[in-house]
Structure 1
Amino acid sequence: MKRIALLVVAGLIVWSSHMSTTIADEPIRPNIVLILIDDLGAEALGCYGGTSYQTPNMDRLAAEGMRFDHCYALPVCSPSRAELLTGRYSFRNGITQVILPRFPKKLNTQRDRTFVQMLADAGYATCVAGKWHLCMDFADHRDHIAGAGFEDRYMWRLFRGNTITRHYWNPELWIDDQRADDLGKDKFGDDLFSEHAMQFMRDHRDGPFFVYYPMTLVHSQTATGKNYPASPDRLKPGDDPDADVKPRQAGFAQLVAYTDKLIGKVVDEVDRLGLAENTLVIVTGDNGTDRTITSLLGDRKIRGGKATLTEAGTRVPMIVRWPGTIAPGQVAEELVDFTDFFPTLLDAAGVNMPNEYAIDGRSFFPKLKGEAYPARTWVYRYWRDRWFIRGADYRLDSDGRLWDLREDAYEPKPALDSPQTVEARKQFKQAVAELHAAD
């Protein structure tokens, strides 16, 4: 493989090669399927110890691959999605809040390039199906998704003007830069999105392909339309672990079960096509569970932390399967944040970065292959001019409070003064200063 130099400059990682986006010598050319769940923290999955919901397919995926115990998104939707695609922290890429009429920004994919653009330049067929949430109405930004590197686009039209549209039943659709509402009539959004993703895999089975499936599920709403259930599959009596609690919680359990079912269908299609050993599948979530939802993690209750800079707001599931490359049943304790997907997926595809292109992410690709690598010693989460930085044992908040995570990261205790905490505070403050010095 072509050697590349790795430099750390004021917190940014700069990849340098002798060419622009290139295919490395004798590359592994796997297909890549990236599934992003909407509003689901790690505590919800059985493989993470959750006991409130039915997640057999995601649990099976973890048993067949690798589960990362410490993957951190941002606490809300748009910033996480921007970080994932660009490999740059939100204070650099400009998407620091949820994109809404009061914050009508869009991701600048000419300035902040996406790894999808680089995969496409290297010959990958690229598809996105589902929720974008990196600009306002597609009618005003017709080329935005194509400009991010996706040749095939089958989307929920989240905004019609400044109005948020339906996305469960009867979704408003936007297909390859055109409005296509009639196709969503009497349909469930994620049935359409998952089927399109699977059809793209069938059409491009000779590969390599990249499929990004950002689900409109799970979210938390249950009022999805007159005469419609929360999901196409109503749970049978006795199957709902939350049947005795408020309807919103019970509806959420249905949505989680259906989310899991669709993920299982997509992975099963990879297997049916005979592509399992040449397909890297990643399942993760864009932020923590909604705060109206309480889940059981073992025998303890965890309230959702969406829109909070907390463990519950930022710790998300991350499951990776690649038979023949990733040994089954592994648990990774290394810290990962959403900027790390950019270099990892390019490494997996054997694609070199453009000259002197700076990102914040660090590749965890060696971990997938069972190799040692210089893992992160901290993750940095930034939202609306506030932040935290955490390592394995401690977390420093932007208000100066230092927390001890060793007993319970969900309900941490104030860190007591000691040589260890003094050193942790010093290193965290230095890391944050270096990050923002490069801004």
Structure 2
Amino acid sequence: MILKNVLLTLSLSFFINKNNAQSNKPNIVILFADDISAREFPFYNSSTWSKPPQGGDTSDLKYRAKTPVLNKLAEEGMYIKTVWASTICGPSRAMMMTGRYAHKHKWWHNSDKGTYINEKGKEKKNVPLYETSPHTISHVAKAGGYATFWAGKTQMDVEGFEFDEACFTPGSGIGSANTSNKYTDFKIVSTKVPGKKKRVLINEDTGVEVEYYQQFGWYWKPQVELMNHPSSKKKLEWWPNTKESKKEYGLHTYGPDVELEFIFDFMTRKKKEDKPFFIYHTSHLGHDGWDFFSSDINKETRNKWPGTPKIKWENGKYVRTDPKITGDAGVYDTHNTVTEGGIHNHINYLDYQVWQYMNKFKELGIEKNTIFIFCADNGTSGYGKGSIKQQRGTHVPFLIYAPYLKMTKKGEQDILANLSDVLPTIADVAGVKIPDSYEINGKSLIPYLTTGTNDFRDWVYSYHKDKQLIRGQKVLIDGTGKAYDVTKNPDDLISFPVINNWDNMTKGFVKENTMLNNVLPKYNLHDTEHDAPKVKEKVEPLTLKTN
């Protein structure tokens, strides 16, 4: 091993006792997958899903994910039929971490973020989330007395958040964007080549020029950076960082495994300290990545989703084959220990990791005192990622398994929700009050989950640069301005009828369409308020709720 081995008022008041004792609070784990549409998960019952090597639609059962653990959690816990994210990862992560939409946090797209005035009075690009939205999900958790851990993908400067420790894959911490881990050459880097005017991308492992995007490998032989780990000598340190870990690190080291072992190490330590923990696990699984084990560099035929370690579900448990990989410089033998490429295998591995989580909760004796949330950041690459059409880019899986909450809801929930709802939900669980003067666009799920109400949201909203999407109970308006009738769920979760003539629609449709179009101007500020305010807003502090 890498590290060596009710009523709403009643349910909320239980989260904090008279002395605000932290040990009574439930642990919280968010597993946030990358680029995976709801349709990819069997429990959403879609008639189509994505196929390897480059994506697209298929109904071939060979490429359908197998998720026995998530299926069971969806049945015993609850999952929401329609949850929206943003259309692409950066803005979705901003929505998750701030509980706000782009008109407040200013992350309109990965390549379209607002400017801000730094502490030296200079205007800078790419405003950090904590500059526009200081009450992030990490600050909420810390205010509630939680020990906090961030694992996996960051895509942002981590310095201003309130995470105690972290394991970044690849390293994306303070100042590390321009450096790399010396223990791995699994990198696609931008390089100046003699005789060429433009920089080119080189696979450092082979020295061959490739058509891709710059990346530091996060799957096999990953680039890993630790933050504030007990084994580290400084705040941020490249891993492997000990004699033992350096000896064990190699081609067989799989980034998602590394993340989980550091998470479990943190959970174990905090359990011994009788300290509730908040885990923000932003997995790379689902995201495309360069397949360093394959010699195929052809853009049309290469694996979009590199293989994972082989796993097998049998007799109610997973059996994992230890990876064995040999070779170098692009010529490798995986000895039949690695799966073929495909997003279905990434989802299968996520299911395996959820099984590991559940086992770890039982081992630590916290299975009834932990809230587990599973979701993803946007639609699948090659199908929905970046799309403003229908809900291709926005429709993501969302599951909550929480025996602690004594939920009144079970199985599929036919409501509307989006990722902004996570932060206020965490605030309710943590017993944290967000100031009334601080705009939050999300809505806590706790009242819905723990009472008899069947109502939640009248509409959900999303954004993509200057484009807006919105959906109600009857009408969906996508980023192209087309309207759809969403009263019936199509087999593929996407083929809604287009509304071409409003004269043919009932008064209910017309009324909702008017309501949705009245909502949009409030958030349609891309062109008029694109950047962070020149003067930072005064923000009241987070406080603990009292009985």
For the criterion TM > 0.5, the same-fold answer is yes
Q: Which residue of 2 aligns with 1:305?
A: 384
1:397 to 461, 472, 478: 478
TM-fit CA distance, 1:406: 2.4
Give the number of aligned pairs: 389
Is 1:230–2:318 an aligned residue pair? no
2:520 is the alignment partner of 1:432: yes
Aligned match for 2:450, one of 358, 364, 369 = 369
Amino acid at match of 1:35: L
Deviations 1:165-206 (A, max 9, x none): 101011111211524144664311100001111111111112
Read off the aligned partner of 1:175 and give its amino acid letter: L
Q: Quick one: which amino acid aligns to residue 129 of structure 2?
A: N
8 A contact 1:36–1:214 mirrored in 2: yes
Match of 1:178 among 236, 244, 252: 236
Check whether the contact 1:288–1:314 (CA below 8 A) recurs between aligned residues.
yes
Deviations 1:221-253 (A, max 9, x none): 4614369971121679xxxxxxxxxxx985322
State the match for 1:280 in structure 2.
371
1:169 aligns with 2:191: no
Aligned residue in 1 for 2:354: 263
Query: Which of 71, 78, 82 is 1:59 aligned to?
Result: 71
Question: Does 2:419 match 1:338?
Answer: yes
Counterpart residue number, 1:129: 151
Counterpart of 1:32 in structure 2 is 28
Retained in 2: the 8 A contact 1:99–1:106?
no
Unaligned runs of 5+ in 1: 5-21, 136-143, 237-247, 292-303
Is the CA contact 2:221–2:250 (under 8 Å) kept in the aligned structure 1? Answer: yes
**1:400-415 equivalence runs, <5 A:** 400-407=481-488, 408=490, 410-415=494-499
- Cα distance in 1 for residues equivalent to 2:31 and 2:238: 23
Cα drift, residue 346 of structure 1: 0.7
Q: 1:436 offset after TM fit, Å? A: 4.2
Whether the aligned pair in 2 keeps the contact of 1:99 and 1:134 (CA below 8 Å) is no
Residue 118 of structure 1 corresponds to: 140
The amino acid across from 1:202 in the alignment is: T
2:428 is aligned with 1:347 = yes
AA matched with 1:232: P
Cα separation, 1, equivalents of 2:434 and 2:351 = 34
The normalised TM-score by structure 2 is 0.65
Supply the distance in 1 between the matched residues of 2:293 and 2:103 (Cα, whole angstroms): 38
Q: Which residue of 1 aligns with 2:256?
A: 190
CA contact (8 A) 2:460 2:470 kept: yes
99-108 vs 266-275, greater mean Cα deviation: 99-108
Distance 1:76 1:106 in 2: 17
User: CA offsets per residue over residues 242-287 of structure 1, 9 Å max, x none?
Assistant: xxxxxx9853222221121112212221122111111110000011
1:327 Cα offset (Å): 5.3
Using the TM superposition, give the Cα deviation of residue 337 of structure 1 relative to its aligned residue in structure 2, in angstroms.
0.7
For residues 249 and 396 of structure 1, do their structure 2 counterparts lie closer, same or farther at Cα, with a shift above 3 Å needed? farther
Gap runs ≥5 in structure 2: 1-7, 10-14, 47-60, 116-124, 179-189, 191-213, 228-234, 242-248, 296-302, 314-338, 530-547
Identity %: 26
Contact 1:124–1:209 under 8 Å retained in 2? yes
Per-residue deviation, 1:398 = 4.6
In the other structure, the counterpart of 1:319 is 399
| Residues 76 and 24 (structure 1), Cα distance of their counterparts in 2 relative to 1, 3 Å cut | farther
| Residue number among 150, 157, 161 corresponding to 1:148 in the alignment | 161
* Candidates 275, 292, 299, aligned match of 1:207: 275
The structure 1 segments of at least 4 consecutive aligned residues displaced by more than 4 Å after TM superposition are 22-28, 99-104, 226-229, 436-439
What is the CA–CA distance in structure 2 between the aligned matches of 1:263 and 1:100, rounded to whole Å?
34
Q: Is the 8 A contact 1:222 1:252 kept in 2?
A: no
Q: Does 1:105 align with 2:126?
A: yes
Shift of the 24–171 alpha-carbon distance from structure 1 to 2, 3 Å rule, reads same
CA distance in 2, matches of 1:413, 1:105: 39
Question: C-alpha distance in 1, partners of 2:443/2:112?
Answer: 30
Query: Equivalent residue for 1:299?
Result: none
Q: Which of the two has higher C-alpha Rg?
A: 2
Provide the rounded CA distance (Å) in 2 between the counterparts of 1:425 and 1:49: 28
Aligned: 1:90 with 2:102:
yes
Distance 1:420 1:252, change over 3 A: same
User: What is the match of residue 72 of structure 1?
Assistant: 84
Contact 1:339–1:361 under 8 Å retained in 2: yes
Tell me if the contact between 2:102 and 2:463 (Cα under 8 Å) persists in the aligned partners: yes
Q: For the Cα contact (< 8 Å) 1:37–1:285, is it kept in 2?
A: yes
**Cα RMSD (Å) of the superposition?**
3.2
Shift of 1:413: 1.9
Range that drifts further, 266-275 or 105-114: 105-114
What is the one-letter code of the residue matched to 2:352? K
How far residue 390 of structure 1 moved from its aligned partner, in angstroms, is: 0.5
